[in-house]
Amino acid sequence: MVLSVISAGLEAAGRVMELSSPLALAGIPIFFITTYYSDFILVPSKARHSVIKALSERGFELSENQSNFVNSSSSYAAYGRKNSASSSAGSPPPGTPPPSDAQELQTRTFDLMQKRNVTPYVDDGLQLVQCSGREISQLADVYGHRLSVGRQTHHPPERRNSWIENVDTKLYTSIISALVSRPRFLSLTLAQDDPPSLLLDRKLLPLFGDSIVGDTDSNFVPIFLDLVNLPSEVTGIVCGVAGRLVEDMHLTETFELSYLSTARAGAVILTEEQSTRALAILAPLLKTEDD
């Protein structure tokens, strides 16, 4: 099951933690994907009832058509979509009580990552740009830029045709050209209600020309976490890492913190300046005896 979260009403810095913590405390494993417009949370289909309960306890109300969650205290919604997700519900091992709060969950998360030799690192010289496919209709007022303030103050646009009917077709050939070049980093997210969202190596920008829109002047740096030694049903990674950084870095609502889950790794995405501070916080916490 996929939850598409329009994050208006949430502070940019704490958004990842706020969205992931209810599910982590409920023992539900997730994949978290930040895009140009939305945040996507992938959860096991078999955990549907646990997901509904966990989100409801945090103020979400399930809509009448059973297809989306709406938070009664702020203006953001999580839209449920069917997906062939993992069947694991992520329950803790027998005899291990669930964490009582976010602080205990965070402690367990870092202990586990340290035991499994998860070491944070950056790819030297890699700078990312987050952007979107340009639409033929040029709806600049809706899709022209992505800022933290925009996420918090603008409501999602009314439902319209799928992106494939509106996006500039030059984007397709640009993506193929980028893949042929064997890029260091390229993330593409396709969703029915949003134009294509890209997070890519800055060096790929010339291949896309005017087929994309967004703030291409800002640089983001990913901090990678190699999670290959962790089971897929592990919980608390997204919430624990994001929570620790927001807490220790004293991030304010003006700072953007994103997270990208993949099958074998996680990436915390921050501005260049913030990524340096974040790496200095994470490295000592995950230092192994061999280091």
The residue that leads in pLDDT, 151 or 33, is 33
pLDDT score for 146: 45
Query: What are 212-250's pLDDT values in tens digits?
Result: 999 999 999 999 999 999 988 889 999 999 989 988 988
CA–CA distance, 129 with 239 (Å, rounded to integer): 24
What is residue 122's three-state secondary structure? coil
**Percent of the chain residues past pLDDT 90, beyond the cut:** 41
pLDDT score for 285: 92
Residue 210 has pLDDT above 50, yes or no: yes
Confidence of residue 139 (pLDDT cuts 50, 70, 90): very low
In a domain, 65, yes or no: yes
Residue 23 has pLDDT above 60, yes or no: yes
In a domain, 262, yes or no: yes
Q: Would you say 126 and 222 are in contact if contact means Cβ atoms under 8 Å apart?
A: yes
In a domain, 247, yes or no: yes
**Helices marked H in the chain — which ranges?**
15-25, 48-56, 102-115, 140-143, 148-153, 170-180, 205-208, 237-249, 272-285
Total number of domains in the chain:
1
Residue 183 has pLDDT above 90, yes or no: yes
CA–CA distance, 106 with 21 (Å, rounded to integer): 10
In a domain, 175, yes or no: no
pLDDT score for 194: 82
The residue that leads in pLDDT, 63 or 56, is 56
In a domain, 118, yes or no: no
pLDDT score for 112: 93
Output the average pLDDT for the chain. Answer: 79
In a domain, 191, yes or no: no
pLDDT score for 11: 62
Confidence of residue 291 (pLDDT cuts 50, 70, 90): low
In a domain, 6, yes or no: yes
pTM metric for this prediction: 0.79
pLDDT score for 233: 85
In a domain, 238, yes or no: yes
Query: What are 70-105's pLDDT values in tens digits?
Result: 555 443 444 443 333 333 334 444 446 667 788 898
pLDDT score for 61: 61
What is residue 203's three-state secondary structure? helix
Q: Mean pLDDT check: name the lowest of 31-35, 50-54, 219-223.
A: 50-54
**Domain limits for position 42:** 2-90+100-107+231-266
